[in-house]
Amino acid sequence: MEVQIVDSGGDSWSVDSGESFSLWLSSHPGELSINPQPHEDETSLRGLLYELITCESVKTVLRRTDYEEAVVAGRMAAGY
């Protein structure tokens, strides 16, 4: 549910790296690839995401952008 960004030289960035993505990106020009990376505590993360998508204000935004059904049905979660 997280991603790892890898540059053409094999250097990578992820949320866990603790470095600002914009700072990392500015010093890694060229081709980039995105790799899925499992979260350490996927159960907690899924619980948090469920709370977010069931929150009325978030549901309102999703509804207004026509994403609510896709998110609730799981069609936007790559690989799941």
Closest CA to 24 of 37, 9, 13, 39: 13
From residue 70, alpha-carbon distances to 5, 11, 47 in Å are 25, 34, 18
Considering only residues 68 and 19, tell me which one the structure prediction assigns the higher pLDDT: 19
Beta bridge partners, 35, equal 4
Tell me the pLDDT tens digit for each residue of 35-72. 888 777 878 878 877 887 777 877 777 777 766 666 66
Query: HSE-up of 77 (CA within 13 Å, CB side)?
Result: 14
Contact 52, 58 (CB under 8 A): yes
